[in-house]
Amino acid sequence: MAEETAPVSRFREYLQIKTVHPEPDYDSCTKFLLKQAEEIGLEHQIHECVKGKPVVILTSKGTDSSEKSVLFNSHTDVVPVFEEKWNYPPFEAQRVKMEDGEYRIYARGSQDMKVTGSMYLEAIREIKKSNIQHKRDIHLIFGPDEEIYSTDGLDVFTKTPEFAKLNGGFDIDEGAPSFNDETWYFTSERITCPVTFTATGKTGHGSQFIEDTAAEKILPIVNELLQLRQTNLDKIKHHGPLMILHQGEVTSANLTMLSGGKQPNVVPATYEATFDFRVTPNIDYGEFIQYLKDLAARNGCTVVIKKPAGSNPVTNLSEAEPFTTSFHKVLKKHNKKAHEIIMPAATDARFIRRAGIPAVGINPLNFHKLLAHDHNEYIVESEFLKGIPFYQDMMIELANA
């Protein structure tokens, strides 16, 4: 049995903190991060835009803090588990030796995204230990509530003077591990767009042909949107198993909640249908919202756009020099077969882009089954360890760009 190294022990300690919704233990998490900062020799700030929702920032000062800084962002919260479905307890972070000799770390958050926060911490630890100087300030941002829309997290924090004071010039953010030897990076993402349609109609006895019912109003909407889902899926189906890389190019629609009715023999007065749309940056967001409003009106329903987004800026890397050159230099040094794709899900990078800062989501882990939000989430230890020098180089190259 290979000895557990200190970076793995610290990663496991981070995973053991139950920052799980609906009641994430942010206090213990902040204590852990501050202990890291003290050991490593980093400055720290804590911003609670909303009480109990800390954004923790750990900083390695550069030799010229007047230059634009570089940000390395990650979230500290994790999604809930169905514990009975796990082979290993999700908050023990067990280190398990596999038949191929590899070690895996099983825990909720191991992929999404404490592995990234841990790689940032270990990378900066190495930089400080070796006393390597860098020009720009490096800020590690640990944000809360990303998994629940970041309303009390980066969404609000990125609008504060404290965020502006960080003077960010470039942001490295959440990515996804790849299932092969390629590394994907994201300069844009689909807008997360939860929408609820409500139909109201006549009620009465379940034995009668009541007219103008809620069901008759909601169903055309549901049917049209499920058809839209199919049409958009058909556009990317030809990619076969690689379709997953092209999801961001189209808008997805999933009926995620449907409710109405109290008893079988009472015609319901209302029906509610909630869709999780992810709106591709390839279409006009405003036009899509108008389409949903028209669809509701045409069917005599009301519609609530639950998280109106305003804008969905895309990072144009050709306009993000000198950082872009440094970013690609590091990918090359680490022999990354890099591909730019559209992030199909939502990350906190959207708020940083909205603040006018170029942001790139990336995850250097290769050969992983994507297990974010799934049972038995794990990472392969050797890939985590390989990611540390990757981020070390990324920090130094960007901070000296």
Ligand X SMILES: CSCC[C@H](NC(C)=O)C(=O)O
Q: What is the DSSP letter of 144?
A: S
Give the residue nearest to ligand X (CB).
345
Nearest to ligand X of 277, 384 (CB atom)? 277
Q: Is 328 annotated as belonging to a binding site?
A: no
**Does 373 belong to an annotated binding site?**
yes
Q: Is 346 in the site for ligand X (CB under 6 A)?
A: yes
Q: Residue 4 Cβ, how far from ligand X at the closest point, in Å?
A: 29
Q: Which of 376, 391, 401, 371 is nearest to 127 (CA)?
A: 391
Q: Which x/- pattern over 6-45 shows residues binding ligand X (rule: CB under 6 A)? A: ----------------------------------------
Shortest Å, Cβ 92 to ligand X:
23
Q: Which residue has the tokens 């103008």?
A: 212
Three-state DSSP state, 142: strand
Contact 394, 116 (CB under 8 A): no
Q: Which does 383 bind (CB under 5 to 8 A by kind): Zn ion, ligand X, none?
A: none
Residue whose C-alpha is closest to residue 111's, from 379, 308, 393? 379
Written as six digits, the tokens of 183 are: 């590394």
Residue 149 as a binder of ligand X (CB under 6 A): the answer is yes
Q: Given the complex with ligand X, which of 19 and 60 has the nearer CB atom?
A: 19
- Residue 347 within binding range of ligand X, rule CB under 6 A: yes
Per-residue DSSP letter, 311: -
- Comparison of 150 and 183: residue with beta carbon closer to Zn ion: 150
**Distance of closest approach, residue 240 Cβ to ligand X, in angstroms:** 24
Question: Are the beta carbons of 118 and 14 closer than 8 angstroms?
Answer: yes
Is 134 one of the annotated binding-site residues?
Answer: no
- Please report, as ranges, the residues that interact with Zn ion according to CB under 5 A: 112-113
E-assigned strand segments in 318-377: 337-343, 359-362
Q: Which of 359, 336, 337, 356 is nearest to 347 (CA)?
A: 359
By C-alpha distance, which of 76, 36, 58 is closest to 166?
Answer: 58
Residue among 194 and 204 whose Cβ is closer to ligand X: 194
Among 314, 318, 320, CA closest to 68: 320
Query: Nearest distance from residue 74's CB to Zn ion, in Å?
Result: 8
- Interface residue with ligand X among 77, 122, 137, 147 (CB under 6 A) is 147
Active site residue 321: no
- 287 is an active site residue: no
Distances from the Cα of 360 to the Cα of 9, 146, 188, 251, 300, angstroms: 28, 16, 8, 21, 42
23 is in an annotated binding site: no
297 contact partners, CB below 8 Å, separation of at least 6:
none
Q: Least Å distance between CB 196 and Zn ion?
A: 22
Q: Which two tokens stand for residue 228?
A: 């839209």
Which of ligand X, Zn ion, none interacts with 345 (beta carbon under 5 to 8 A by kind)?
A: ligand X
Footprint of ligand X on 173-202 (CB under 6 A) = 192
Annotated binding site for Zn(2+): 75, 112, 147, 174, 373
Question: Which active-site residues does the annotation give?
Answer: 77, 146
Which residues in this chain contact ligand X in the complex, by CB under 6 A?
Answer: 146-147, 149, 192, 345-347, 372
